[in-house]
Amino acid sequence: MPTDTKRVRGPELSQNPGLFACKPAGVVHATHGPRADGRQRDQVDVRPVFVRCGLVSQAKGSAYIEAGNTKLMCCVYGPRETERKDETDMKCGRLTTDMRFAPFSCPERGSWIQGSQDKDFSLMLHESLQPALCLHKYPRSQIEVNVMVLENSGSVLAHAVTCASLALADAGIEMYDLVLGCSIRQDGASYVVDPSYVEENSCSSVSGENQGGLTVAFLPSLNQISGLQSDGEMAEETLTAGVRTCIEGCYKLYPVIQQALAKAVRRAAPPPSES
């Protein structure tokens, strides 16, 4: 692990007090009970989403998304001249993505140094966004997308994809389509869409056949999947059913995102008055 000499950190042996807390007897997550926040199992019940574009004035485009307690913001800079001259591509632009978690975002304190999980998410974000951008229209330039997770309450990658494509649209980067993300968590025979942090990380004591999570990045108008990441163990039919469920979840999100974008455009350039 690389050491950070610039910041004064707490003692290395500090531990989360949650580890020492006594777990109450009946805390095992019921796989057939209702979800903690009142949503339904086995149904495409995504959390209501609040999105707003244009919150960072310095960035070319920016967006903020809130889904339940998950809060993330994304800024887009570009198209700019490529920083590293030897990587300038004459024919099309480059997309760089960076996804970071604030140390206070997860229940356990994370570190400021990018761990391998952050790099992993950045790579998946890059994979999901690249097919949607018309990079051939920006030769010799680079577009930077920076996502910062302020609070991680589950389903972070899916919302990051949505937020990033909103910010890209807000920045005026030409795209083939918006990319929307949705994730599910499969727990035995039932699944939950848009899981919260607790639902994502609870390992059910019954080691059932189907235990895993799935995140899908989807282009709604073109009906294409640009990114798919799955974790855990699932049977083939469960996986294909899960992909279809995620696609449905993306379709549910689409009108909200479109409305938010339209509002942002209207705010930025108000229509000429009647008189």
Partner 1 sequence: MAAVQVSEAEKVYILHGIRDDLRVDGRGCEDYRHMEIETDVVSNTDGSAKVTLGHTAVLVGIKAEIGKPRPMVPDEGYLEFFVDCSANATPEFEGRGGEELGTELSNTLYKVFNNKHSVDLKSLCISTGEHCWVLYVDVLLLQCDGNLYDAISVAIKAALFNTKVHISADDEGGKEIELSDDPYDCMRLNVENVPCIVTLCKVGHRHVVDATLQEKAVLCGEPDHLRHT
In the complex, which residues of this chain contact partner 1 (CB under 8 A)?
15, 19, 116-117, 119-120, 123, 127, 207, 211-212, 231-233
**CB of 4 or CB of 209, closer to partner 1:** 209
Helix (H) or strand (E) holding 229: strand 224-233
**CB of 237 or CB of 274, closer to partner 1:** 237
Nearest approach, Cβ of residue 206 and partner 1 (Å)? 11
Nearest approach, Cβ of residue 131 and partner 1 (Å)? 8
Nearest approach, Cβ of residue 214 and partner 1 (Å)? 12
- Walk across the sheet containing 94-101 and list its strands: 49-53, 61-67, 70-81, 141-151, 94-101
Nearest approach, Cβ of residue 89 and partner 1 (Å)? 12
Distance CA(70)–CA(195), nearest Å, equals 10
Tokens encoding 183: 């994730």
Nearest approach, Cβ of residue 119 and partner 1 (Å)? 6
**CB of 123 or CB of 268, closer to partner 1:** 123
**CB of 108 or CB of 274, closer to partner 1:** 108
What secondary structure does DSSP assign to 72-112, as a single string? Answer: EEEEEEEEEE-SSGGG--SSS-EEEEEEEE-TTSSSS---S
Tokens encoding 84: 């590293």
**CB of 207 or CB of 275, closer to partner 1:** 207
Distance CA(218)–CA(246), nearest Å, equals 9
